[in-house]
Structure 1
């Protein structure tokens, strides 16, 4: 069963990307997965995953980033942090105005029984519940590609992130009393 996001978000897929059921593409905890269709048949399809959960306590951005790396090491293999940058304290053009961290990773993975070096760019952000300021949520958006594919899809990932917005609250349906 696919994961869910603790806060509703809207996003737009760049041209050439297609959403896929998380369970069917090996990402059962993701709430959303998109595949780069032009890369079909190249041994690995670059993908964008979106996951999220409610935060307990006051986790720092760096501890959230470290936890993500730790999960990858436990589930995938060797992971090297190439670069880590905080964002959102002074909003960058096109990015959601929320504290976040971008980290670029190099991952040694086994894909379809073959060793493969993958690159992953993660955007981890923390959102506050507009109605209940004490509630916070972590959202992780990750682009994963073979290192040789990364430059071909990185601009699409940045375009994808630039469309990320909290979804407008849906008005509650009026109730009728008999």
Structure 2
């Protein structure tokens, strides 16, 4: 079963991206997946994913980003953080990082890049409840370069869905 986000959000997918059921593409640990069919190459289709959870602990976004690096290290041959920077504001902090990693997919070694953006949100009804969302673009180098602008557009569109009548 696909993961669920702890808070409702809304966003806009750039043209050329198609939402897919996470379970159908083998991504049960995320709440949302979009593929970019035009970028498909043997063994590699660029994708955007969203996952997130309540984080009542005091972990900084850099610590949470380090956790992601560690998780990828469990399945990749090598992982390098090529870039990391703070984003947003004190009221809505964020962190972005770019990872380069080597992994084996269908018995073929692949070099992939992943841009992760972490967004921290406080529940307006209960400010003690912090949610951290992770938005990620994963692609090979050619796809990554070509689709980074799409991903930036996507990230800029993410908002709490205050019209849903839930939580935030």
Among 137, 140, 148, the residue aligned to 1:146:
140
What whole-Å deviation, never above 9, does each CA across 1:4-33 have from its counterpart, x for those lacking one? 111111011110000011111121110000
The CA distance in 2 between the partners of 1:56 and 1:77, in whole Å, is 32
Aligned 1:47-126 pairs, distance under 5 A: 47-89=47-89, 98-126=92-120
Q: Alpha carbon RMSD of aligned pairs, Å? A: 1.5
* Count of residues in Structure 1 that have an aligned counterpart in Structure 2: 166
Task: Give the deviation of 1:41 after TM superposition.
Answer: 4.0
Q: Does structure 1 retain, via aligned residues, the 8 Å contact 2:85–2:96?
A: yes
* TM-score (norm. length: structure 2): 0.93
Q: Secondary structure at the match of 2:117?
A: strand
| Bigger Cα Rg | 1
The CA distance in 2 between the partners of 1:142 and 1:171, in whole Å, is 27
**Is 1:159 matched up with 2:141?**
no
Unaligned runs of 5+ in 1: 91-96, 173-178
Q: Secondary structure at the match of 1:149?
A: helix
Runs of 4+ in 1 over 4 A off after TM superposition: none
Unaligned runs of 5+ in 2: none
* Alignment match, 1:134: 128
The CA distance in 1 between the partners of 2:33 and 2:142, in whole Å, is 21
